Structure 1
Amino acid sequence: MHPNIEELAKETMALDIEDRALLAGKLLLSLDEPTPSEVERLWLDEAERRLEGYRAGRVQGIPADEVFSRAISELS
């Protein structure tokens, strides 16, 4: 944990209960709304995990024509 987080937590605990509840709500909402750069980073991490799994032989690839064929049939 970052040292500033511990200091921030101490300061936050000194707030009255209503202010702590308001802050907690705002923090929780911020977890539900990732920024575009966070979304990009998460997708990049996922793509790297998938590629590593493919290269290690843990994941089997599916030919593109089969993927598109399935997608078209499911959308029809």
Structure 2
Amino acid sequence: MITDYKEIQHSALELDENHRAELAKKLIDSLDQRIDEDIEQAWIDEVKRRKAEIKSGKVTPISGQEVHKAARELLKK
């Protein structure tokens, strides 16, 4: 088993992109094992609220490209 940090890093960087992404996610997930149930529920509620607003027509979604364009325009001012 590889235990030296430099060896692990070298081996990890030689993985293909998909495996590196999977490894990165697992490493990040391992840093915070605690899940705050209140925060988790707040995000679920927010997603449901936004979905309902879109379905009802109250909100019209715009593309990320449009958001970036508008942000660039605001930053020019």
TM-score normalised per structure 1:
0.42
Is the radius of gyration larger for structure 1 or structure 2?
1
TM-score normalised per structure 2:
0.42
